[in-house]
Structure 1
Amino acid sequence: MLLALYIRDLAAIEPLGTPCLAPLCPRVKPAAARELAEGSAGELRQEWQSWWERILRGGHSPSALDEEPDFAEFSDSPSLQHLLRAHYGNAFTWTQNRLGEYKDYCRKNTNERSALVSQLFFECELDGEGVDDLHLKMVELPLAEPRAWFVEPDTVLLSQDLMLDADLFRSYLQPIIEMMK
């Protein structure tokens, strides 16, 4: 997901449909936007959107995270493949840095984050609602806006900073949990 979002921000791709996630944080300079020919920007947006939808369904990320992958699995998306080949090194470095930061963040905040999520589910059980069969996949991402985006049927994409504000976190997640019961 991080690689796809990096490419989105790098090329200033305006995604179609939902969810329309906030930009990454730290921001990625849209340097590749000027590389695109006028006609290929629309093509790139469609190719990226197809890739993003496959990711959200649980599949299709680049299979080889080598030093210099060829992205052969993107042969049906020439504009996206070109962009991935041209910018993979920087994208890989940016992604690895965010993953390292996230590991540090988790080490420092795991107990508080777990308690916050547990409390939401516990409150549902107190209301007499069974949550044993409820499955909610939460994916934290380094996004510039502290909020959450629901992706059917059971996924929530959220800014990793959202859990730093318990009330705001609750305001996004509680209605989603209620809806899924």
Structure 2
Amino acid sequence: MHHTGGPGWRITMDTSGPMLIALYVRDTAGLDGAGHPALSHAAPKIRAADHSHLTGEVGGINALKTEWEAWWEQLLKAHPKMAPELTPPNFKAFGNSPALRRVLQAHFGAALTWARERRSEYAELEAEREATGAAQLLGDMVDDRLLEVGRSARDFTLTIIELPLNEQRAWYLEPDKIIMSHDLLSQPEVFRSYVQPVVELLV
């Protein structure tokens, strides 16, 4: 986790274990375009499988998509807390989502392993950024904006959730969250093109 801040403002960059698991479930179930925002595929690529045998009796792929989207929305709202609880083998918190519950039961082990691998890669990435000062770009962007407007910053918090996505871009979620590909910061100009407008809006 990386924090940048000043009087009245704070920007946090981190990844999310529950969202990594949700991404794995989305991609393995072939739920392309599910959720808001509709994020690109995870990287490395997760092989999609046919889940009609698992979900056929409980509403099929359409029910699974609806249930997954409701879960994703909850994760975004609750971040950084882990809600709803992912408790195998019964996944009690998913009692109202029978299709999703079955898919979680089938894939939770693989999803957890995949998510842990991505988290350890993210930890390496953070250490590298700390060493090179790459994350300082955020503070610089706020400072530049403050010079431009000639006043102190309005109070704001901005949360940047970094996920391993194969598309190098960011998605702004009003009022104070950004989801972005975890490689984006390594391309300062592209990173700035997505984050600068949000900083200008908030500062």
How far the C-alpha of 1:177 sits from its partner, in A, is 1.3
Please show how residues 1-181 of structure 1 align to structure 2 within 5 Å: 1-16=19-34, 18-33=36-51, 35=53, 36-37=55-56, 39-58=59-78, 61-64=83-86, 68-110=88-130, 111-127=132-148, 128-181=150-203
Distance between the aligned counterparts of 1:49 and 1:64, measured in 2? 16
Q: Which moved further from structure 2: 16-25 or 166-175? A: 16-25
How far the C-alpha of 1:152 sits from its partner, in A, is 1.6
Distance between the aligned counterparts of 1:161 and 1:40, measured in 2? 35
What do residues 109-130 of structure 1 show as CA deviations (whole Å, max 9, x unaligned)?
Answer: 1243321111111111111253
Distance between the aligned counterparts of 1:24 and 1:139, measured in 2? 14
When residues 107 and 175 of structure 1 are mapped into structure 2, their CA distance, relative to the original with a 3 A threshold, is same
**Which residue of the partner structure matches residue 9 of structure 2?**
none
CA RMSD of aligned residues (A): 2.0
- TM-score where L is the length of structure 2: 0.81
Aligned length: 179
Distance between the aligned counterparts of 1:148 and 1:33, measured in 2? 30
- TM-score where L is the length of structure 1: 0.90
Q: Which moved further from structure 2: 49-58 or 37-46? A: 37-46
Contact 2:26 2:34 in 1 (8 A): no
Higher relative contact order (CA 8 A, sep 6+): 2
1:30 aligned counterpart, secondary structure: coil
Distance between the aligned counterparts of 1:135 and 1:9, measured in 2? 31
Distance between the aligned counterparts of 2:43 and 2:198, measured in 1? 25
The amino acid across from 2:56 in the alignment is: A
What do residues 11-65 of structure 1 show as CA deviations (whole Å, max 9, x unaligned)?
Answer: 0113456311111110111124464539510000000000011111116535256
When residues 83 and 104 of structure 1 are mapped into structure 2, their CA distance, relative to the original with a 3 A threshold, is same
Structure with the higher fraction of residues in strand conformation: 2
Distance between the aligned counterparts of 2:143 and 2:114, measured in 1? 37
Contact 2:36 2:69 in 1 (8 A): no
Distance between the aligned counterparts of 1:134 and 1:83, measured in 2? 38
Q: Which moved further from structure 2: 34-43 or 101-110? A: 34-43
When residues 43 and 34 of structure 1 are mapped into structure 2, their CA distance, relative to the original with a 3 A threshold, is closer
Gaps of 5+ in 1: none
